[in-house]
Structures are given as C-alpha cells and as structure tokens.
C-alpha cells in the first residue's frame, strides 16, 4: 500500500511512521508537514519521502494533489493547538486545512481518507457512563479546540454526502501521550515557567479540579488503530482509549508523591482564565471545560472491527509522558524537538 500521512512530523504521526517502518503491507509512505525533518532524516522519519505544505495556505490543494497521486489512503493528522490566542489561525489550519486535504484527496482520486477527530468533538456528558460513537459531536462551546473538532465532524458529514465514493474513517482518541512528545506537550500545555523537571514525583502538591477525570492512550496504540483502519479500509468513527480512567490521586501518585489538593472547578477555571489572559500559561479555560464535560469513551467498536487492544494502560502512558516532560524528551522532528535543541 502507498500511504500519505499529513501531519507526519507530530505526536501521532511520529508513532505511525514508527509503526510503518516494520510493516510489509505499507510499502510506500509520504510524509506531509509544514516543517519537515532535517535531511537526511533519522528513524522513524526515514521511512517516508517528505513534502512541505501548510494545509491552511490557499495553495495547499495544488501542493497536495501531486503528493496524494497514487495513494491507497491518506491519513490526516495535521492540527494546530498554538497560538491559542490567534483564533483565526487555529480555524484556518484545523477546519479550512481539513477541507483542503479532502478536496485534494478527491481531485487525486484517493479512495480512502482516515481523519484525526477526538474525544473533544463530543457533546458534554452528564455522567461517567462510557459513550459509543453515536454520542452527539456538537462539542463544548467554550473550547476552541472542541469547536474546531466539531466543525471538522460536520465537514466530514458534508463531504461524505457529496462524495460517497470516498471512504472516510474518523479516529476519536482520548489524550494521546508518549515520552518522545514530552517537551512538545510541556510547551503547548504547561508553558515556560512550569517546573518541568519537578513533575516526576517532586511537586509539593498537585491541585486538582473537583470532578475531573481523564482517559489517555499511548501514541503507539493510536498508531496501531490507524494502521488497522487503513489496511481494513473501514468507514465511520472509532473511539480509541486505554480502559482505565485517571483521577486526581492517580496523577498525584506520579507527580507529587501522592500529595493532592482538590479545588473547586469554578475556582480552577477562574485561575486558569486569568493566567491565560496574562499570557502566563499557553492554554485557556476552554480546555478545562472540555475535560470536565467530555464523555468517557466506549471502545467496543475499535475492539470489534479493528481487532484493536491497547498495549499500554492509561496509567503507564501517563508515566511515560511525565518522564518525557521531566527529561525534555523529543525527536528529530521540528515540532517534537527536545528541550536541549
């Protein structure tokens, strides 16, 4: 198979290239990224030939069509989280960029597109009952990330209706972590003043918003789901998450030797909003709103139709990511650069 990965230099893209490196089914890989790895790229980036493209640019479709030529599948992973104060830029990359990828796939005659959606696309859930893929994908209005993920879901709906010959799959993972993305995650979510080296068990106490619970999945397990979606040429949405649910004490046991202080959700939101507006932290209160209201994911469909089983628990995935943050871990990819580079 010939597979094109848009956003191949990022967190999930790196794990997917790692998965393809030992996969005899995938014989040709093209990586597309705004910032491509240095030449010649080391593993896992050496498995791909590279095309530089900003999917938000007006010329993106013209660049992507020849890159997509002859592909059996296109995987669309490109997404912007920063700069969080530039709402126009985020929309251009996330929503308009997705339309550009779909238009290019159609023009190039690609039969199958697999798109990165997210638990963030889902509407708020009133309880902790796991929700399957039929749960509404109208997002959380106060979260720009969630709003854009919901908009992409509508874009996919419209494209499927207008172009039924193109098979579209949607992967909706929980939080995706791996050690190699440690420094990227700390830049995107913690900011320059957070004590990165102290997070691995040395924080004095972990403040935790009341009611917050999280699901996570390792990037290698997400890559395995994408691989199965590609080779099986499936359509429709698939939830992907490790089975265990992380709560405050689970996180505190890793980052603060069990020392936890629960704070009210309203208080936590107010502090986060003030810090974000002051440019002291890189993400705004919409992320907390989304985390507090997002449903837990029922992954039965992925298990049944993709024969997918995660190798990593959410807790071990969190440990891997925290170790990466503390070490400033990265890769040879520009977005995943280490703290030392």
Give 208-260 pLDDT, tens digit per residue.
999 999 999 999 999 999 999 999 999 999 999 999 999 999 999 999 999 99
Rounded mean pLDDT of the chain? 96
- Percent of the chain surpassing pLDDT 70: 100
Helix (H, G, I), strand (E, B) or coil at 246: strand
- Percent of the chain surpassing pLDDT 90: 93
Position 184 in a domain:
no
**What is the pLDDT confidence band of residue 40, given thresholds at 50, 70 and 90?**
confident
Position 261 in a domain:
no
Which residue shows structure tokens 């009611």? 211
Position 97 in a domain:
yes
**What is the pLDDT confidence band of residue 341, given thresholds at 50, 70 and 90?**
low
- Domain range enclosing 50: 2-177+216-241+295-310
| Both tokens assigned to 308 | 């997918």
CATH number where 55 lies: 3.40.50.720
For the chain, what is the domain count? 1
| Both tokens assigned to 335 | 């977005």
pLDDT of residue 18: 97
Position 209 in a domain:
no
Model confidence, pTM: 0.96
Position 20 in a domain:
yes
pLDDT digits (tens, 9 = 90+) for 133-191: 999 999 999 999 999 999 999 999 999 999 999 999 999 999 999 999 999 999 999 88
**What is the pLDDT confidence band of residue 200, given thresholds at 50, 70 and 90?**
confident
Position 208 in a domain:
no
pLDDT of residue 340: 76
At a CB cut-off of 8 Å and minimum separation 6, what does 218 contact? 176, 177, 178, 242, 310, 311, 312, 316, 317, 320
């Amino acid at each position: 198979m010939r597979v094109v990965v848009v956003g191949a230099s990022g967190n999930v893209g790196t794990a997917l290239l790692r998965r393809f490196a030992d996969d005899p089914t995938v014989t040709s890989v093209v990586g597309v990224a705004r910032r491509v790895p240095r030449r010649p790229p080391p593993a896992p980036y050496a498995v791909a030939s590279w095309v530089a493209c900003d999917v938000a640019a007006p010329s993106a479709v013209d660049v992507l069509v020849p890159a997509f030529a002859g592909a059996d599948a296109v995987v669309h992973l490109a997404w912007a989280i920063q700069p969080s104060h530039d709402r126009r830029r985020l929309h251009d990359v996330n929503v308009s960029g997705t339309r550009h990828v779909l238009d290019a796939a159609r023009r190039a005659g690609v039969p199958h597109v697999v798109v990165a959606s997210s638990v963030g696309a889902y509407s708020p859930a009133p309880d902790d009952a796991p929700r399957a893929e039929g749960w509404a994908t109208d997002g959380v209005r106060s979260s720009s990330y969630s709003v854009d993920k919901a908009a992409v879901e509508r874009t996919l709906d419209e494209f499927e209706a207008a172009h039924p010959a193109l098979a579209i799959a949607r992967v909706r993972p929980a939080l995706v972590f791996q050690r190699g993305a440690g420094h990227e995650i700390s830049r995107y979510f913690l900011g320059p003043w957070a004590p990165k080296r102290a997070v691995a068990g040395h924080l004095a106490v972990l403040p935790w918003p009341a009611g917050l619970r999280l699901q996570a999945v390792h990037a290698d397990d997400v890559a395995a789901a994408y691989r199965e979606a590609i080779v099986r040429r499936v359509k429709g949405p698939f939830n992907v998450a490790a089975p265990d649910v992380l709560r405050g004490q689970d996180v505190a046991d890793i980052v603060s030797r069990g020392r936890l202080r629960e704070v009210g959700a309203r208080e936590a939101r107010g502090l986060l909003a003030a810090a974000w507006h002051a440019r002291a932290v890189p993400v705004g209160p919409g992320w907390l709103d989304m985390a507090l209201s997002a449903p837990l994911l029922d992954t039965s469909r992925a298990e049944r139709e993709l024969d997918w089983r995660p190798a990593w628990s959410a807790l071990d995935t969190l440990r891997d990511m925290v170790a990466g943050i503390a070490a400033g871990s990265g890769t040879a990819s520009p977005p995943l650069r280490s703290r030392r580079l």
